């Protein structure tokens, strides 16, 4: 990470600035409620490719919901990934991490692109994301995979298999084989080159992710499936042991265990059997991507990364899609739904979160679709227009609420 650089100056979040003119990267959202509003600082990390487009839409939706529900947001936009590489030569500037740590929540767009594919590892955009997660101390990645009734035909599975799927993958994010030591390259006695990595977990790493998973399952349908490879791997044997010990603290949650190879098959064969899944870093990386495709489009899927303290990181799971960047073709709904997760898990603003989720459903009910989820008989729209439709749906909920009250 860089030292302070002239091109990146830490921005001060101000709810009521002394002057009416705000800096280009700093935005004031003023609430119309008469009572003293809640105030939150949000760090925006648009990133690369379609990231700036989808974050812009999500920010507008968040701002509107806040103005209607007595919540003020101060926004600070900072560079990360390829954008930061182009600006200061590193994928995660120190200033970006500092601002993120001082905020109440972070919204990330997307990271990466063909432009930086040949960079050395420490200069790849994705390295910035790993550094960001480590710097924030987020260890629990929550990825919902829900097949919406409006999009069930977009799934590659048979309708009777996909219909009604609603599951959550809780992935351990900062341990396991992606971070374990020793790792590297070496040579055998015969001079043959080898590459090696280490799958390692400490009890505290397993315990904290298991607790998040049990708590998540408790708030959903009360079923938790722990996925491991305990018939082969010692790290998985410890994993299963610790998860089973914690189960006594959650008698209201039904705990089952499944080997990862079987879990991969069952996600395709009968995905409705799952409610909440908890698993390690590498298994979670694979299974959450598999689960995402049950829905028919990764353009609809949000995620949250949480730690024991400090702000959470919220982002769509899709990539930067550089081939459609700047063409108003991106689907921003995953980022909008990430904002809903930000409100629910990051700020504990449940009503605001549901408002956004309901607005997305209403927009889909009206037949609006971006290209990735388009089907015959629906209205094809771009990134900005579908964002505007979501905001209209937010407004309609507010008007309906006012009439009822």
The single residue of 48, 275, 285, 372 carrying the catalytic annotation is 285
Active site residue 261: yes
Cβ neighbour number for residue 42 with a 10 Å cutoff: 27
Which residues lie across from 28 on neighbouring strands?
Answer: 74
**Is 285 considered catalytic here?**
yes
204 among known catalytic residues: no
Q: CA dihedral in degrees (390, 392, 397, 400; nearest 10)?
A: -160
Residues in the chain: 405
- Determine which one of 229, 275, 345, 372 is catalytic: 229
| Contact predicate 310/137, CB 8 Å | yes
Burial 180-189 (b: 16+ CB within 10 A, else e): eeeeeeeeee
Catalytic hit among 249, 261, 323, 395: 261
CA distance 44 to 62: 12
101, 115, 178, 259: which is the annotated catalytic residue? Answer: 178
Contacts of 19 (CB under 8 A, 6+ apart): none
Residue labelled with tokens 């971006």 = 370
Q: Give the C-alpha separation, 397 to 405, whole Å.
A: 12
DSSP characters over 124-157 = SHHHHHHHHHHHHTEEEEEEEEE--GGGGGGSSS
178 in active site = yes
Instruction: Choose the catalytic residue: 115, 289, 328, 392.
Output: 289
Catalytic annotation present for 25: no
* Strands ordered across the beta sheet of 26-28: 26-28, 71-77, 38-47, 105-110, 312-316, 302-307, 138-146, 166-172, 276-279, 223-228, 254-259
**Distances from the Cα of 300 to the Cα of 117, 154, 216, 322, 332, angstroms:** 26, 11, 21, 18, 8
Active site residues: 178, 229, 261, 285, 289
């Amino acid at each position: 990470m860089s030292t302070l650089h002239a091109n990146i100056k830490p921005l001060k979040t101000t709810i009521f600035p002394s002057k009416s003119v705000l800096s280009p990267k700093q935005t004031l959202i003023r609430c119309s409620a008469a009572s003293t509003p809640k105030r939150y600082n949000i760090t925006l990390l648009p990133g690369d490719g379609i990231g700036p487009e989808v974050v812009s839409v999500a920010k507008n939706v968040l701002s509107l919901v806040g103005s209607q529900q007595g919540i003020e947001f101060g926004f600070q936009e900072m560079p990360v990934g390829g954008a930061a590489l182009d600006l200061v030569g590193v994928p995660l500037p120190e200033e970006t991490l500092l601002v993120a740590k001082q905020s109440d929540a972070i919204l990330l767009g997307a990271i990466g692109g063909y432009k930086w594919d040949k960079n050395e590892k420490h200069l790849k955009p994705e390295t910035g994301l790993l550094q960001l997660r480590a710097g924030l101390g987020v260890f629990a990645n929550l990825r919902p995979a829900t097949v919406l009734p409006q999009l069930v035909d977009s799934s590659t599975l048979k309708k009777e298999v996909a219909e009604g799927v609603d599951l959550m993958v809780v992935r351990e994010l900062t341990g396991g084989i992606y971070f374990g030591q020793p790792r590297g390259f070496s040579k055998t006695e015969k001079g043959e080159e080898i590459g090696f990595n280490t799958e390692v977990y400490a009890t505290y790493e397993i315990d904290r992710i298991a607790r998040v998973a049990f708590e998540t399952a408790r708030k959903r349908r009360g079923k938790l499936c722990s996925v491991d490879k305990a018939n082969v791997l010692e790290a998985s044997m410890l994993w299963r042991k610790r998860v089973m010990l914690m189960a006594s603290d959650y008698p209201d949650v039904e705990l089952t265990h499944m080997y990862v190879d079987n879990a991969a098959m069952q996600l395709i064969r009968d995905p409705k059997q799952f409610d909440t899944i908890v698993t390690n870093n590498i298994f979670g990386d694979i299974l959450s991507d598999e689960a995402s495709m049950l829905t028919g489009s990764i353009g609809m899927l949000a995620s949250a990364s949480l730690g024991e303290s400090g702000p959470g990181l919220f982002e769509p799971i899709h990539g930067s899609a550089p081939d459609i960047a700047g063409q108003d073709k991106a689907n921003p709904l995953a980022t909008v739904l990430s904002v809903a997760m930000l409100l629910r898990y990051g700020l504990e603003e449940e009503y605001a979160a549901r408002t956004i989720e309901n607005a997305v459903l209403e927009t889909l009910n009206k037949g609006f679709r971006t290209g990735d989820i388009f089907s015959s008989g629906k209205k094809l729209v771009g990134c900005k227009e579908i964002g505007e439709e979501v905001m209209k749906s937010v407004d309609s909920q507010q008007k309906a609420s006012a009439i009822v009250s």
